[in-house]
Structure 1
Amino acid sequence: MFDGMQRRIVSMWFPRLPTDRALRLCPIDAPFALSLRHGNTDRIHDLNRQAETQGLHRGMTISEARVYCSGLRTRQADPVGDRRFLTGLRRWALRYCPWVGIEDTDGLTLDISGAAHLFGGEEALLADMRARLDRAGIEVRLGLADGRGAAWALSHYGEGIAAPAASETALSSLPVAALQIEPDTIIALQRFGLNSIGALAAAARAPLGRRFGPGLLTRLDQALGRQSESITPLTEPPHYAVRLTLPEPIGLTADVMAGLERLLQALCAKLKAHEAGARVLCLTLRRVDQHSQTVPLRLAAAMRDPARILPLFVRGIEDVDSGFGIDQLRLAATVVEPLPLQQIGQDIATPEQLDNLITRIGTRIGLDNIRRFQPLDSHIPERSFQLVPVTDSQPRKGCSTQRQRPLRLFPPEPVTARGSTPPERFRWRRMSLSTGRAIGPERIAPEWWVEDDGWRSGIRDYWRVETHQGRRLWMFYTPQRPAWFVQGEFP
């Protein structure tokens, strides 16, 4: 990439990244640790310096840590949030060079070849990095060398700058663990007296290759600059937003819809190229007086068809106050979901009409107010389904069962009857009914691990009862407290 230029790599290591992030949100001047659950035990995931001075370390159980340090303050760790924070630091590091990659879960690698002079030299560049991170409350260790392996070794075990073409000299006194090799290999090398990188580099290569394999020699050559090691920067996520600046202000709904149509075509083409669909869209209309109005649109399902999306904006655009005119339109997909291409044929049912209907209703009453029934895997009738928002779920088939269930289900209603078998005559809802045919019983036991006052009476014996009056009822009998109830009705 840089012809005739010495390659220079910076390794940026954040030894307490999770703790630094947590303390930035809520500072605490006391021994502090983040806990993470392993199996059935909460263990220390990360900790600050004050906790380390009390004899605590990573991997220690929280209960054991409180014995050593009674004033320990703890919170739950958030690895997902830490990863997002590290990604944000990567974007910040782009101010120093265009090539920045993430190293494991707590570091960054920067290729600053040809960029150090912009900051006054390598030492000034590292000083600027350290000063900015110190002000942000983030502890960092920096290493600079010709290769990625040497820079990583310096940041983790030496912290400093290796002069160009002098990596071997700078790393000679560092332990062999700085080569990022397996712990078993480190122990084996120490048994042979090879404790430092300098001693390992001076040893015969052939016996090392036979004893430890080519991986050890590859790591050694990469650290000493004898073998190059690539840096793969993260690609920026696609930006799903388009803008249209108008030469003359507009104010009519038809003109805004015409401009929006052009924006939708460009945005949906970008979504299709990435096999994605928009769930939430935001149209920003900038007026000539520099005030802006937004028209949000939430969709019931991921979409990227301009013809289907365009009419859904009409209601919101009609309510916009254009003032003295609108001179810029900006359309952004703020929530995007994967929407892979599908083969369209006669045997494939498309739910587009239902999604359009749900979206149209949602623009009036809110998508969160539209819900659907979803089946649950439970033999208890009341717990065999749940109500969920239609936007956060997909239709599912019911749980497999060989028992017929009523179409209408309601809370148990008592009937006047006696005996453990379906009565010949009984009263329900002020109606006198007589049994024509009864099928059952089906005994259902309560789920003892769930607290439910409605099932504290114990088991139930369910019957399908067909009456001479034409009602087909789902009735049950409770042996513990003899009584009959109706809970459902078949069509």
Structure 2
Amino acid sequence: MAIWCADLALDRWRHSEGCQRGEGTDAAPLALITETAHGPRIDAVNQAARAHGIARAMMLADARTLCPTIEVRPSDPAGDLAFLERLAIWAQRWGPWSAIDPSDGLLVDVTAVAHLFGGERRMLADVEARCAARGLHIRTAIGPTAGAAWALAHYAGQAAILDPEDDVSARLADLPVAALRLDNDVLLVLKRLGLKRLGDLAGIEEGRDRKGHNDIRGRDAIHRRFRNRKSPAANPLVRMDQLLGRVPEPLLPVVPITAPMVQRRLVEPIRHRQLLDTVVADLAEDMARTLEARGEGARRLQLGMWRVDGEVLTRDLEMAAATRDPSHICRLFADRLDDIDAGFGIEMLRLRASWSQPLALDQSDLEAAAEQHGTSLAACMDRLTTRLGRDAVQRPVPRASHIPERAQSWQPPLEPEPAEQHQLAFHTRPLKLLDRPERISVLYAAPEGYPRRFSWRGQVCEVARVEGPERIAPEWWREKGSTRLRDYYRIEDEAGRRYWIYRNGLPTDGRGGMPDWYLQGLFA
């Protein structure tokens, strides 16, 4: 689904001014301008200014010749982008993810969710009603691809819907080539070639010229003209393939990230430095607990102080490494608070970690406490090793391998981890892995199908739920070429027990007979 905010800059400006569309601000010609090296340039105009012939990208001096009484306000592109990012997160009520369209719009994945709103028509009506309540003038469309939805929203009218079963090329044939989201210089070249509609470009792709005769050059003629253009927006063939779904179009979803933040609202304003240091220490303790719960450490902190007269004082810190040590944070802020003018008092303080990084837990506090009582973690490990044996006390260490039985190894508890090893990100895996995968007998509908029943250790288990497969290829650099790949399944039997099994190989891989099944892990 494409949502095009036709007047995004003006709608956001109206929102900041506290007025609605159609009120007094729209009666007089109005333009939002940006200062350039050649003078002010117009970024957006309202309907009254359009009636005088004023358009976007026009210089303000030229616009004043058409309408001397035009009012101007400064534009804010950064604010518009931030507003669009917030709008993209809000639009995820209609789909699992959304992406920003550079032309002041959004693209929302609505695959298999329209029935939750009563159909696609009702979903578009809900989008329009909710956006209108927020003061946004939008145009919406739904298509089988992001390019088709964008083209419909911009050039096919309001609330257009294109089903995947329809002939996309025929339905969009009358739209201008600008619907392909091309650069202006590319549109100029296509216009000079006489290619003004998508149908003209599709005809040449199929090997027909503009008169309907066969053209042996076809797609190659356009390819030779634009073969040196790497960007999709500069190559009409790539854009046409994306619009028709021949090639995928990568989109970057907007992911909301909440910055850790703690604050204190004071019963009475404070003015003295000693009280300020006490509140900052409390905020540092709260921030440390918040970061520890997230498994992160702060790289950049911002302390905001609200005075009684409404002024906000801020102090920023940026650390060389991620930390959540309260005492360290307080020491750094102590040097930044000497010039604070509390005025009539500070009534609220807020500490925010605008930049944080993953930070693993450590046992430094445990070691320090043990030293105070005359013992240590190393001494404890020595006693256990002497009493139970050298190999009885070990700890798991992640290894850089995607094969489950090689993803971790065991080493003495106090030895450092190898610096060259990195833990890889996997799908959900069980906490308990068997020492060796055990072969099982599996009943399935087809060799490549889901398991229905399996026998393990003399017990027959009926499969109730199946999730998978997760395909894991062999490590070609250390194994023989005849090693077969694995398809892992997370299954649950009728008693609620959960297992991790895999099929070793495929029936058609040419590396042996029928594949064998193994059980490798148990879920809690």
Q: TM-score, normalised by structure 2?
A: 0.50
The equivalent of 2:219 in structure 1 is 205
SS of residue in 1 equivalent to 2:33: strand
Aligned residue number for residue 445 of structure 2: none
Residue 180 to residue 115, structure 1, CA distance change in 2 (3 Å): same
Contact 1:241 1:333 in 2 (8 A): yes
- Aligned residue type for 1:130: E
**Structure 1 residues without counterparts, runs of 5 or longer:** 1-9, 244-255, 283-295, 314-330, 342-491
Highest RCO, 1 vs 2 (Cα 8 Å, sep ≥ 6): 1
Say which one has the larger Rg: 1
2:3 paired with 1:12: yes
Please name the residue that 1:279 is paired with: 302
Residues 179-204 of structure 1, C-alpha deviation per residue, up to 9 Å, x if partnerless? 11232332332333322111211212
Q: How far did residue 106 of structure 1 move?
A: 0.8
Question: Take 2:248 and 2:137, find their aligned partners in 1: how far apart are those partners?
Answer: 29
Q: In the comparison of the two structures, how many residue pairs are matched? A: 292
Instruction: Give the Cα separation in 2 of the matches to 1:241 and 1:126.
Output: 36
Change (3 A) 1:277 1:180: same
1:301 paired to 2:321: no
Sort the Cα spacing of 1:242 and 1:104 in 2 relative to 1 into closer, same or farther, 3 A. Answer: same
**SS across alignment from 1:94:** helix
Closer, same or farther: CA 62–264 of 1 in aligned 2, 3 Å: closer
Moved more, 144-153 or 231-240: 231-240
Q: Contact (CA 8 Å) 2:291, 2:298: kept in 1 or not?
A: no
SS of the equivalent of 1:194 reads: coil
Residue 370 of structure 1 corresponds to: none
Q: SS at 2:222's partner residue?
A: helix
Contact (CA 8 Å) 2:296, 2:356: kept in 1 or not?
no
Cα distance in 1 between the residues matched to 2:221 and 2:58: 39
- How far apart are the structure 1 equivalents of 2:178 and 2:332? 60
**Sequence identity (%):** 36
Q: Distance in 2 between matches of 1:212 and 1:265?
A: 56
Match of residue 169 from structure 1: 170
The whole-number CA distance in structure 1 between the counterparts of 2:29 and 2:117 is 37
- CA 300–83 in structure 1, closer or farther in 2 if over 3 Å, else same: closer
- Listed one character per residue, the Cα deviations across residues 299-318 of structure 1 (whole Å, up to 9, x for unaligned) are 663464223347999xxxxx
Question: Partners in 2 of 1:54 and 1:74 — Cα distance?
Answer: 15
CA distance in 1, matches of 2:262, 2:111: 34
In 2, the alpha carbon distance for the partners of 1:222 and 1:259 equals: 55
**CA 1:170 to 1:39, structure 2 compared with 1: closer, same or farther past 3 Å?**
same
Q: Deviations over 1:19-56 (max 9, x none)?
A: 11112333403211101111140111111111111110
Q: In structure 2, what is the Cα distance between the partners aligned to 1:87 and 1:78?
A: 14
Residue matched to 1:183? 184
Task: Measure the CA separation in 2 of the matches of 1:71 and 1:268.
Answer: 55
| SS of equivalent to 2:111 | coil
CA drift at 1:67: 2.3
AA aligned to 1:91 is: I
Could you say what the CA RMSD is over the residues aligned between the two structures, in angstroms?
3.6
Per-residue CA distance 1:305-350 (angstroms, 9 max, x = gap): 223347999xxxxxxxxxxxxxxxxx97436357999xxxxxxxxx
Q: Which structure 2 residues correspond to residues 27-176 of structure 1 after superposition, within 5 A? A: 27=19, 28=25, 29-104=27-102, 106-159=104-157, 160-166=160-166, 167-176=168-177
Gapped regions of structure 2 (runs ≥ 5): 20-24, 205-217, 230-234, 264-278, 306-311, 334-348, 360-524
Cα distance, 1:187–1:269 mapped onto 2, change above 3 Å: same
Query: Residue 13 of structure 1 contacts residue 107 of structure 1 at CA under 8 Å; is this kept in 2?
Result: yes
CA shift for structure 1 position 105? 5.1
- Partners of 2:315 and 2:294 lie apart in 1 by 15
Contact 1:277 1:339 in 2 (8 A): no
* Alpha-carbon spacing, 1:188–1:262, altered in 2? closer, same or farther (3 Å): closer
CA distance in 1, matches of 2:187, 2:173: 16
Evaluate the alpha carbon distance shift between residue 183 and residue 115 of structure 1 in structure 2; reply closer, same or farther with a 3 A threshold: same
Report the TM-score, using the length of structure 1 for normalisation. Answer: 0.53
Residue of structure 1 in register with 2:236 after alignment: 216
CA distance in 2, matches of 1:46, 1:309: 46
**Which of 345, 349, 352 lines up with 1:334 in the alignment?**
352
Q: Secondary structure at the match of 2:354?
A: strand
CA separation of 1:275 and 1:340: change in aligned 2, threshold 3 A: farther
Partner of 2:433: none
Counterpart residue identity of residue 290, structure 2? L
Equivalents in 1 of 2:33, 2:299: separation in Å?
36
SS at match of 2:40: strand
Letter in 2 for 1:161: I
Cα drift, residue 18 of structure 1: 0.6
Q: How much does 1:155 deviate?
A: 1.3
- In structure 1, the residue matched to 2:16 is 25
Aligned positions of 1:418-437 closer than 5 A: none
Alignment of 1:388-407 (within 5 A): none
Letter in 2 for 1:265: A
Q: Give the superposition deviation at 1:163.
A: 1.6
Distance verdict in 2 for CA 1:187–1:302, change over 3 Å: closer
